[in-house]
Amino acid sequence: MARRKKSSPIEDLIEITAALPWWVGTVLAIIAYVLLHHYAIAEEQTTAAPGQIGQMVAGQATRMLASYGQYILPPLFIIGAIASFIGSLKRKELVRTVENNSSGSALLALSWQDFELLVGEAFRMKGYSVVETGGGGADGGIDLVLKKGGEVFLVQCKQWRAFKVSVNIVRELFGVMAAQGATGGFVVTSGIFTADAQTFAKGRNIDLIDGSKLSLMIDKAKTARSTQTHPEMTTTTSFAAKPETSATTASCPNCGGAMVKRTAKQGANVGGSFWGCSAFPKCRGVRNFQ
How far apart (Å, rounded) are the C-alpha atoms in residues 74 and 70?
7
Q: Note the pLDDT tens digit of each residue in 118-149.
A: 999 999 988 899 988 865 444 457 999 999 98
Q: Which amino acid is at 6?
A: K
pLDDT grade, residue 243 (50/70/90)?
very low
Distances (CA, A) of 189 to 72, 82, 91, 144, 166: 41, 29, 17, 13, 11
pLDDT tens readout for residues 141-200: 799 999 998 999 999 998 866 578 999 999 999 999 999 999 999 999 988 899 999 999
How far is residue 88's CA from residue 49's CA, in Å, rounded to a whole number? 55
How big is the CA angle at 25 (ends 19 and 30), to the nearest 5 degrees? 165
Report the predicted TM-score, pTM, of the whole model to 2 decimal places: 0.61
